[in-house]
Amino acid sequence: MTDNMIHWNLGADRIVVLTMDDPGKSANTMTEAFERSLRETVDRLEAERDTFDGVILTSAKDTFFAGGDLELLMNAGPDDVAMVSAGLDAYKASFRRLETLGKPVVAAINGTALGGGFEVALACHHRIALDKKGSQLGLPEVTLGVLPGAGGVTRVVRLIGVVPAVLNVVGQGQRMKPAKALQVGIIHAVAATADEMFAQARAWIAANPDAAQPWDVQGYKIPGGTPASPAFAANLPAFPANVRKQLKGAPMPAPAAVLAAAVEGSQVDLDTAFAIETRYCANLICGQVSTNMIKALFFDLNAINKGASRPAGIPERQAQKVAILGAGMMGAAIAYVSAVAGLPVVLRDVTVEAAERGKDYSRKILDKSVAKGRMTAEKRDEILGRILATGEIADTRGADLVIEAVFEDLELKKKVIAEIEQYAAADAVIATNTSALPLERLVGSVSRPKDLIGLHFFSPVDKMPLLEIISAETTSDETLARAMDFAFRIRKTPIVVQDVYAFYANRVIGAYADEALSMVAEGGHPASIEQAATQAGFPVGALTLMDEVNMKTTLKIRRGWQELDGFVDSLGGPVQDRMVEEFDRPGRLHGKGFYDYAADGTRLALWDGLFTEYYRPEVEIPFEDMKERLLFAGAVEAARCYEADIVGSAADANIGSIMGIGYPAWTGGALQFIDQYAGGTAGFVARADQLRDRYGRQFEVPEGLRAVAGAGDAYA
């Protein structure tokens, strides 16, 4: 062999242990060198078939196999379809030779195996996974805009059937713990220890000397049938309808391609199914959407989660006691995520009864987990035991991380922060959970400004993955580092933003929402505006979003922002003013907003008043303009923040927009949308200028972007 990426060890028991080990990387991936090693290893297996009775495939890394070479996939373009297809087919050929070797082959999955890494295991006759903490199995390619193209779709369909494959494995890209993968049916066994895993593998080889894949056994039929079956065919139209419902019209081709590859592949022989899978996968890989999603959701996200913005040279330091001041919705939820992460929490409010009501937030979530069998009662009690609900400020004594989470009232925040200093540890990090107020307005309330930092959580805290960390001019690097350590501990993705009013995410979401409200003011049909948002790829319509976050809050933020230099006003502001102050319809919490709501909070229809007050049938805003106005409004504001150093990196800007405000994932984020627009940055600026001339100066791009476009360069 030309390299040693797959080590060969033939034991006295006549079992070959193949150990994958890329010497140049911390994880095994589908590189050209690995493909060559795999091919040469299969050559040797075939040549020396008579010298062994079975094969165990495992890994020398902490993980089994990390999957495809995402840098290669991200950089593939329309001219690379033939090259990408050939690469996929090369893996398929080696995997097919492995599974038709005539000897039993077992995958001893000693850690995470995702994507191409799990496709390696699928080419084995038997799969045993080590029950290792943090280990994940599955085929998540669809979440990056592609599909499992090295046999993954085809084999999973033949293993468990079209419907379970699409719903539980390839259609939504679920990542599973070994126990769940066993339940779904994509592995055969789970082992508690590595020794047990290898013992099981050897025993299975001994018991199955003539092992073959199910689809290579005479008389095999795909579980659950194929479209040739009348019962299956009768239900088939529901599947594309469900995909359309899931995507809401967003331009994301991967889910539809996965479904097509699964259904089409189930109706033909294996080799033809492989060819169908390759065709769909290569076209996705070489398209722009997968480039955007891989860049943002893998490379940008990994850079952030590895601490790219964390000050260098400062040792990790985790909080030992967290004091949360204010047990309202935000404080209660912050207490929950902190306790789940194993941190002792003091949840303090003005009375113990108010604090206990805050603790009830955790009780309800944990009780639900126990009821669904996801957690034991003992584990629930252990987590709840970490939260001390109290009305006594003295109970916060010694806390080394304080998080103020009271109402968005400057004077109240000043009072609470000033009060805590005498009780907190001498070097405690003092954080304010604010959605808009700059830290500079609070600095005078603390004796140690270097320890003051902002933590902007997004609601609901237990579900939203982003955390904006606001670093003021006075904030020390050590305080910033400790805040990021806390973010990682509670499993949030932190982006670092500068200390300006409304920070980054709220400015971008404000621009997006304002543009939707401007279209309402212009006389556009409210339902069309909502549809434009979802077809652009936003998770919900802009009017729905405004109702959810409550317009009393957003109006207050908007007015504070309006007082500052650089604020770009729009027609949308007066709409929000009237909704709150004239019509008394601030949102879902109050049972009335842009939508009407049932007593239980269920959203009903759009409010009739929108049509009598604003809608004008003679106004025609082109639907494509509607979609692009929403996308461009957020992107232009993100560019302004980027040029003003409000957000420190393009990665932070992209991930902050996707995870914080639901900017469409297919774009790769607000700044990536600029770079990937048809015609590049020049095309984006030309279209922005067109929108500016038609609809207003909110589409005026910053000078830095215009200069980049003029030079024909990428912006971020």
The DSSP call for residue 218 is: T
Residue 514 and residue 613 in one domain: yes
Are 529 and 626 a contacting pair, CB within 8 Å?
yes
Angle between helices 551-562 and 505-522 (to 10 degrees): 100
**Distance, CA of 198 to CA of 196 (rounded, Å):** 6
Residue 424 and residue 543 in one domain: no
Q: Among residues of the chain, what percentage have pLDDT more than 90?
A: 86
Residue 442 and residue 392 in one domain: yes
Q: Where are the beta strands (DSSP E) in 573-696?
A: 595-597, 603-606
Residue 473 and residue 577 in one domain: no
Residue 517 and residue 656 in one domain: yes
**Distance, CA of 31 to CA of 37 (rounded, Å):** 10
pLDDT tens across 413-451, in order? 999 999 999 999 999 999 999 888 889 998 888 899 999
pLDDT tens across 86-120, in order? 999 999 999 999 999 999 999 999 999 999 999 99
In a domain, 556, yes or no: yes
Residue 545 and residue 454 in one domain: no
Residue 442 and residue 549 in one domain: no
In a domain, 716, yes or no: no
In a domain, 512, yes or no: yes
Residue 248 and residue 345 in one domain: no
pLDDT for 558 equals 81
pLDDT category, 246, cuts 50, 70, 90?
confident
Q: Looking at the predicted structure, is the pLDDT value of residue 669 above 60?
A: yes
In a domain, 295, yes or no: no
pLDDT tens across 389-421, in order? 999 999 999 999 999 999 888 899 999 999 999
**Distance, CA of 81 to CA of 286 (rounded, Å):** 6
In a domain, 257, yes or no: yes
Residue 275 and residue 336 in one domain: no
In a domain, 163, yes or no: yes
Name 24's Cβ contacts closer than 8 Å, sequence gap at least 6.
Answer: none
The secondary structure of 517-544, three-state, reads: HHHHHHCCCHHHHHHHHHHHCCCCCHHH
Omega before 460 cis (within 30°)? yes
Q: Looking at the predicted structure, is the pLDDT value of residue 16 above 80?
A: yes
Name 371's Cβ contacts closer than 8 Å, sequence gap at least 6.
Answer: none
pLDDT category, 127, cuts 50, 70, 90?
very high
Residue 465 and residue 556 in one domain: no
Q: What is the mean pLDDT of the chain?
A: 94
Give the active site residue among 99, 141, 404, 468: 141
pLDDT for 244 equals 87
Q: If you average pLDDT over residues 449-463, what whole number do you get? A: 94
Give the active site residue among 32, 46, 99, 119: 119
The one-letter code for the residue type at 111 is G
Backbone CA torsion sign across 521, 526, 530, 533: negative
Q: If you average pLDDT over residues 233-262, what whole number do you get? A: 91
What is the number of structural domains in the chain? 3
In a domain, 1, yes or no: no
Residue 118, SS3? Answer: helix
Indicate the residue among 286, 305, 335 that finishes a domain.
Answer: 286
Q: Looking at the predicted structure, is the pLDDT value of residue 510 above 70?
A: yes
Indicate the residue among 286, 307, 335 that finishes a domain.
Answer: 286
End-to-end CA distance of the chain: 43
Residue 424 and residue 548 in one domain: no
Residue 351 and residue 235 in one domain: no
Q: For residue 668, what is the domain's CATH number? A: 1.10.1040.50
Are 345 and 335 a contacting pair, CB within 8 Å?
yes
């850690």: which residue's tokens? Answer: 111
In a domain, 310, yes or no: no
Are 59 and 111 a contacting pair, CB within 8 Å?
yes
Q: For residue 167, what is the domain's CATH number? A: 3.90.226.10
Q: Among residues of the chain, what percentage have pLDDT more than 70?
A: 99
Gyration radius of the chain over CA positions: 28
Which residues on adjacent β-strands are paired with residue 57? 18, 107
Indicate the residue among 476, 498, 520 that finishes a domain.
Answer: 498
| Sequence-ordered alpha helix ranges (H) in 389-504 | 410-420, 477-489
Angle between helices 352-371 and 329-340 (to 10 degrees): 50
Angle between helices 703-711 and 680-695 (to 10 degrees): 140
């929000």: which residue's tokens? Answer: 576
CB atoms within 10 A of CB 245: 10
Backbone CA torsion sign across 89, 91, 92, 97: positive
Q: Active site includes 119?
A: yes
Q: Which two tokens stand for residue 181?
A: 């993968």
pLDDT category, 566, cuts 50, 70, 90?
low
pLDDT tens across 460-497, in order? 899 999 999 999 999 999 999 999 999 999 999 999 99
Are 58 and 20 a contacting pair, CB within 8 Å?
yes
**Distance, CA of 475 to CA of 450 (rounded, Å):** 4
Which residues on adjacent β-strands are paired with residue 108? 128
The one-letter code for the residue type at 240 is P
Phi, psi of 388 (to 5 degrees): -100, 110
Q: For residue 390, what is the domain's CATH number? A: 3.40.50.720
pLDDT tens across 1-13, in order? 446 799 999 999 9
pLDDT for 145 equals 96
Global pTM reads 0.91
The DSSP call for residue 166 is: I
pLDDT for 1 equals 41
pLDDT category, 552, cuts 50, 70, 90?
confident
Residue 670, domain extent: 505-711
pLDDT category, 572, cuts 50, 70, 90?
confident
**Distance, CA of 194 to CA of 184 (rounded, Å):** 22
Q: Looking at the predicted structure, is the pLDDT value of residue 568 above 80?
A: no
